[in-house]
Amino acid sequence: MSAVEVSHAVKRFGAVAALHDVSVDFADGEFFGLLGPSGSGKTTLLRAIAGFFELDAGDIRIGGVPVGDRPVHRREIGMVFQNYALFPHLTVRDNIGFGLAVRGRPRSEIDAEVKRMLALVQLSGLEARKPRQLSGGQQQRVALARALVTRPRVLLLDEPLGALDKRLRQEMQVELKQIQRRIGITTIFVTHDQEEALTLSDRIAILNEGRILQIGRPAEVYERPETAFAASFLGDANFLDGRVLDRGSVAVEGLGRIPVAGALPEAGATVRLAVRPEKFAIEPAGAGNANDANRIAGVVRGAIYSGTSITYRVELRAPAAGGEARTLTVFRQNLAAEPLAIGTAVELSWSSANTILLRS
């Protein structure tokens, strides 16, 4: 049985529809990422599950029980906010134990549970400190411990690592995943960070304009996005518009026949293809090392050096319709001694298995 079930959820704020008939199930023990741009509906969905407002239509069940008429404190959820929302005048001990205290639990039980949580989030010995005496990562752990101390059925995370710098955020991703696996709690988190979603999630839902566009395992959604929005939001993509020639190929203006793996519509239909930048092999023209199905000629017009990698902008030799130059983004690990110079004639190649047929 799913830990959380959302069925046909609709929520409007005035004339703005924040959720459009959203249905999604969150499995027991699953780490589920809600990914989308600002205004996509991901935070609205999370807060609806928490009970911060009522839906205009639809149903939410936790553990198979409808919770539409239950207030926040009776939904068996724990929640961590981006700014942590710690009480600045309370110690770490009292912040973590706050939820138990307001429930009237005896002091001995509170002390035991707080000690357990401090060990879980590796903050033992810091219980007497105030939040201002902690680092950002330590404050995030206190907020997580406070959310978990009441032993909720579901953990909700709203951009939980957004306030941390990149290095600490990456470290906390590992710790958060380990803690979630250790206690086995169903976890739903909101993020706009694609790398974070890919790293943490068992499954991902991509939202836009209040609708879920695609749900799947991170590798599935990344390798086979169904829409141009999903392809461009979760990673980068090069888009190629063309016309179906036969059951296995598409004609793209300026590029010729492109083999495509997978079912194509009838001959003559217009389609949009996508190729991820890292799926290309790039080499100087005439090197002749690649043997992939697709090969096209181009010239390097730009290069962004990022230390471990280089992102090239390659202008294709064959112009698109109307004579306009077409450029592709190509990603390559920094394995060579010298990057390709601007103006270098190159050949790009890629496998037809890496050509994605988009639904829209």
CATH number at residue 348: 2.40.50.100
Q: Are residues 271 and 225 in the same domain?
A: no
Q: Are residues 162 and 293 in the same domain?
A: no
What pLDDT sits at residue 218? Answer: 96
- Which of the four pLDDT bands, split at 50, 70 and 90, describes residue 51? very high
Which domain-ending residue is among 201, 233, 265?
233
Q: Are residues 183 and 326 in the same domain?
A: no
Q: Are residues 215 and 268 in the same domain?
A: no
Which domain-ending residue is among 233, 262, 297?
233
Quote the CA–CA distance of 269 and 292 in Å, as a whole number. Answer: 26
Q: Are residues 178 and 88 in the same domain?
A: yes
67 within 8 A of 87, measured Cβ to Cβ: no
What pLDDT sits at residue 202? Answer: 96
Is the pLDDT at 292 greater than 80, yes or no?
no
- Residues 311-327 have a mean pLDDT of 76
Q: What pLDDT, in 10s, does the model give residues 238-277?
A: 999 999 998 888 898 878 888 887 788 888 899 999 999 9
Over pLDDT 70: what percentage of the chain?
95
- Residues 134-158 have a mean pLDDT of 92
- Residues 325-351 have a mean pLDDT of 88
Q: Are residues 118 and 242 in the same domain?
A: no
Helix, coil or strand: residue 218: helix
Which domain-ending residue is among 211, 233, 255?
233
> What's the alpha-carbon Rg for the chain, to the nearest Å?
25
Q: Are residues 221 and 277 in the same domain?
A: no
Q: Compare 172 and 61 and report the one with higher pLDDT.
A: 61
Write out the two tokens for 45. 């969905």
Q: Are residues 57 and 35 in the same domain?
A: yes
Q: What are phi and psi of 204, to 5 degrees?
A: -130, 145
Q: Are residues 139 and 14 in the same domain?
A: yes
DSSP assigned state of 340: P
Number of domains in the chain: 2
Write out the two tokens for 51. 């009970």
10 Å CB burial of residue 165 (0-12, 13-18, 19+) is exposed
Domain limits at 178?
A: 2-233
What is the pLDDT of the chain when averaged over all its residues? 90
Nearest to 93 by CA among 56, 118, 67: 118
Q: What pLDDT, in 10s, does the model give residues 159-170?
A: 888 777 888 888
pTM of this structure: 0.89
Q: Are residues 94 and 177 in the same domain?
A: yes
Q: Compare 2 and 319 and report the one with higher pLDDT.
A: 2
- Residue 194: CB atoms within 10 A of its CB come to 18
